[in-house]
Amino acid sequence: MANIVITPPGRFAFPKITELWEAREVLYRFGARDVTLRYRQTFLGVAWVVLQPLITALIFTLVFGKVAHLSSGGLPYLVFSFVGLLAWNLFNNIVTRAQQSLVLNRDLVSKVFFPRMLVPLAVIYASLVDLAVSTAFLVVLLVIYGISPGWWVFLYPLWVLMVVTLASAVGLATSALTVRYRDVNYFVPFFLQFLLFASPIAYSVSNIHSQYRWIYDINPLVWLLQEFQWALVHQPAPPAWEIVMSIVLPIGLFVVSAMIFEQMERGFADVI
């Protein structure tokens, strides 16, 4: 049996991969707990997973499609915005739930030892379950509208992974900051609301004036949303640099975020 050595925290802390791997079951248990709890004592149960994006997509269709007459890149507005919402909800759910996770699980953080990173990361599980159910519903929509996704659909898991990585990076950093500064609770919803409208979910990128395109294109979600539409509803692929960056940036951000988290982690129990 290997000895455990406890020493004061050093200047730089790297996440202990072996420790995380040892505790991987915690991740699963937390995830399963979240899924079980979310639909316990609800009448409609899992139907909410589909109803939420569907209702939002209908509202978008009505407001942006019928009233504002924005372009949806030649697709039925409902299908277009539903695809956008798949990616958006995945991102939004992970960021929102992860950000609050440490403070909501205050008892665990201050009383039980386990790698704290697992608390914000565990929200991925429930968010992926939501995505799976919504994706299944999308298949129904595609059949109804007679849209074929094309061969690039095989890249769908990759783009899902990248959205998850990007969202986890934001979630890890904000959850750690929330432990120290509760301001984050107020800031994150505004940031997400801004991001929702700064991304091509309710409207197609073709609506953006080419003069402002470069500012618009800084947003990594713009790349990932286009990739979702590319993979799922046969839209044109985004430029190559966006494809490369949409893989490099989330991974890079995740590593930085994990280090920030690790650095702050050892003080959690004292300030939470």
Partner 1 sequence: MDSATAISVEGLSKTYRILRREDLPTTMAEAVKGKVRNSNVKKIAEEFDALHDVSFEVPFGEVVGIIGRNGAGKSTLLKVINRITAPTEGRIELAGRVGSLLEVGTGFHPELTGRENIYLNGTLLGMRRKEIAERFDDIVEFAGTEKFLDTQVKRYSTGMYIRLAFAVAAHLESEILVVDEVLAVGDSDFQAKCLRKMREVARDGRTVMVVSHQLQTVSDLCTSALYMNAGHLQFHGTVEGALEEYKRSFLHTTAAPVSTAQRPGTGELRIQEVSMPNNIVKPGDELVIEYVVGPNPGFGGRYYVSAFIANEDGMVVAQCDSRVRDFYLEPTTENMVRLAVSQPWLKPGTYSVDLFIHTGGHPADIWEQALSFQVLPISPYPFATTPDGTDHGVVFPEFDYS
The minimum distance between CB 63 and partner 1, in angstroms, equals: 34
CA gap 160, 246 in Å, rounded = 11
Q: Which is nearer to partner 1, 2 or 67 (CB)?
A: 2
CB atoms near residue 5 (< 10 Å): 5
Is residue 123 a contact partner of residue 171, using CB atoms and an 8 Å limit?
A: yes
Please give the residues from 34 up to 63 whose contact with partner 1 meets the rule CB under 8 A.
Answer: 36-37, 40-41
Interaction of residue 260 with partner 1, rule CB under 8 A: no
The minimum distance between CB 115 and partner 1, in angstroms, equals: 10
How many residues does the structure list for the chain? 272
Q: Which of the stretches 52-60, 64-72, 96-104, 111-119 binds partner 1 when contact is defined by CB under 8 A?
A: 111-119
Tokens of 123: 């929200």
Q: Single out the residue of 95, 80, 119 nearest to residue 226, CA to CA.
A: 80
CA gap 28, 25 in Å, rounded = 5
Q: Which is nearer to partner 1, 90 or 119 (CB)?
A: 119
Of the candidate residues 113, 190, 197, 214, the single one contacting partner 1 (CB under 8 A):
113
The minimum distance between CB 103 and partner 1, in angstroms, equals: 13
On the 0-12 / 13-18 / 19+ scale of CB atoms within 10 A, 249 is middle
Please give the residues from 151 up to 190 whose contact with partner 1 meets the rule CB under 8 A.
Answer: 177, 181-184
Q: Could you report how far apart the first and last alpha carbons of the chain are, in Å?
A: 33
The values of phi and psi at residue 245, to 5°, are -65, -30
The minimum distance between CB 46 and partner 1, in angstroms, equals: 17
Q: Which helix (H) or strand (E) holds 92?
A: helix 77-104
Q: Which is nearer to partner 1, 142 or 176 (CB)?
A: 176
Of the candidate residues 33, 194, 206, 248, the single one contacting partner 1 (CB under 8 A):
33
Please give the residues from 5 up to 24 whose contact with partner 1 meets the rule CB under 8 A.
Answer: 5-9, 23
CB atoms near residue 91 (< 10 Å): 26
Is residue 167 a contact partner of residue 87, using CB atoms and an 8 Å limit?
A: no
CB atoms near residue 245 (< 10 Å): 16
Number of residues in contact with partner 1 under rule CB under 8 A:
35
Of the candidate residues 26, 85, 122, 170, the single one contacting partner 1 (CB under 8 A):
26
Interaction of residue 266 with partner 1, rule CB under 8 A: yes
Residues that bind partner 1 (CB under 8 A): 1, 3-9, 23, 25-26, 28-30, 33, 36-37, 40-41, 107-108, 110-114, 177, 181-184, 266-267, 269-270
